[in-house]
Structure 1
Amino acid sequence: MTIENINNKEVNPDWKEFRTKKIEELNKKYSEFNVKDDKILEGYHLLHDHIHVKRRKNITASENLIRLLIKRKDIGCINSVVDIYNLVSLETKIALGAHDMDQTNGNVTLRFTNGSESFHPLGKEEIWAFKLENMPMLMIPIAFYVAWKSVKPSKHW
């Protein structure tokens, strides 16, 4: 899906009000929530087990957001685009992301890894070699940038 002409620098007052109400709803939804009993999140864990990725070290983006919401009663604001997909991820438990197509060169593709990819973790300066094969990965054609959607939310929209 491509959405064009988004002003991602200013916060719309209607959006701010909607977000506040949605966070309140999500806090109620997750007030008695136990991550270990959730079948959707367990599906991510089973996928990680299948591909030999440690559960504790590689928490899915949606689980991470749920845990953050439970702990802090909010998830913080980054920008409108990221905040929107974070709310959708909290609602659906599906890891989502968005990317600024003006910053990409070529097509975004979803394919399985072959073990030669690099990964640039958010907030880190170094680029990691990605040695796992046959993992679903969203490829963003920017030098050394790959967003591993089942593990970390992208802050690049």
Structure 2
Amino acid sequence: MSVFKKFTVLAAILAASLFFDGCEQKISTELQKVHWDRDMCARCKMVVSDRKHAVQVINPQNGRVYMFDDIGCTVLWLQEEQIEWADKAVIWITDVKTGEWIDARTAYYDTMNITPMAYGIAAHKDKSTIKKGEEILRYDDVAKRVVEIEERNNKRGIK
């Protein structure tokens, strides 16, 4: 095989590999821009407007983003919709003090807040920002608490 043919074959292989590599779909699990006062909560369909209690859930399988106005709606949506990828979901929540997006699974939570859906639970990046004497929860505790609140409200006829 001549040098020219070898070069042509190598160039074709390189071009094909670059083409197929460029076609590979990369799934983003990055935080997405919120369109405040326009994006709707995936569960209750209210507009996401409170910058201190917003949540984003990202499906790691396809990168789809779901917005929520309250951590309570997030927890209930994951449960009610029986989301198979819930344990792998990327969940962002805004810090109640700064409005900064933080990882919901590593955040600290307190329970004495006025929130969009009245669950009262707010996220903190650092537990030192929670008032002394207040109950401090972690994400798994928040999920249990929201379900308890919802069950109690349903028994009393509150929707």
What is the TM-score normalised by the length of structure 2? 0.24
- With a CA cutoff of 8 Å and minimum separation of 6, indicate the structure with the bigger relative contact order: 1
Larger Rg: 2
Higher helix proportion (structure 1 or 2): 1
